[in-house]
Amino acid sequence: MIVVDAVTHAFDADPPVLVDVSVTLRERRIGVIGANGSGKTTFARLLNGLVVPTKGSVTVDGFDTRRQAREVRARVGFLFQDPDNQIVMPLVEEDVTFSLKPLRLEKAEREARVAAVLDRYGLSGLRGHPAHALSGGQKQLLALSSVLVRDPAYLVLDEPTTLLDLKNRDLVKKAIDALDAIVVCVSHDLDLMRRFERVLVFEAGRLAFDGPAEAAVGFYVDSQSCG
């Protein structure tokens, strides 16, 4: 369970990008939508400690993101919008293996985990392939593999389909559907959001709506039409 308690966040002397947000996240699939600049990406980054709140607190299974970042990040994986910002090693297999370095696993377990996750996402035949030469969809699946190989209980996705064509969007959506982890996904893709149990709508840094997907998407579309 992730608990966001009375969180306000501002960057330096700028006006707050989030204001007094309180929410408890426990559903299997949670979407986050809002206009550009509404605070949704900052909210997502709060969930694994990439950003810590100016006021209030965020806890993951009781661990505080400000004081217990290591424990939080062991539980919460984060997938960035652009996989090129997340892929750090030259070859596919090396990138996934690198993600396991902090766990200090025995060689046999490390190799087994890497093989299993590459097979799961159809990348086994590309183990020795240059990572940055993959297609857009393959890069996103590699980035996802490098996060999931650590077996996080929660996964936060920041616009996972925005940079992809239709074929690769469908590929990534199917991968998300099959995940065992609790997923919190920020997206402008309203069709993707309709697959989720619960959707949060942000407006001007505040949580404007929190409810079932269809109702939340309807609220968001109406608010944009009126704007």
Task: Give 41-68 pLDDT, tens digit per residue.
Answer: 999 999 999 999 999 999 999 999 999 9
pLDDT at 226: 59
Compute the average pLDDT of residues 152-160. 92
Give the pTM: 0.89
- Highest averaged pLDDT of the listed ranges 53-67, 130-144, 173-187: 53-67
Helix (H, G, I), strand (E, B) or coil at 123: coil
Model confidence band, residue 22 (pLDDT cutoffs 50, 70, 90): very high
Residue 19, exposed/middle/buried by CB under 10 A (0-12, 13-18, 19+)? middle
Provide the pLDDT for residue 164. Answer: 77
Q: Which of 210, 149, 166, 161 is nearest to 188 (CA)?
A: 161
Average pLDDT over residues 150-159: 92
The structural domain count of the chain equals 1
User: What is the percentage of the chain residues whose pLDDT exceeds 70?
Assistant: 99
Q: 23-59 burial, b for 16+ CB within 10 Å, e for fewer? A: eebeeebbbbbbbeebbbbbbbbbbbbbbbbeebbbb
Q: Among 132-136, 161-165, 205-209, whose mean pLDDT is lowest? A: 161-165
Contacts of 193 (CB under 8 A, 6+ apart): 31, 33, 185, 187, 199, 213, 216, 217
Domain that holds residue 199: 2-226
Q: State percent of the chain over pLDDT 90.
A: 68
Q: Quick one: average pLDDT of 18-36?
A: 95
CATH of the domain at 211: 3.40.50.300
Q: Is the pLDDT of residue 218 over 60?
A: yes
pLDDT value at residue 176: 83
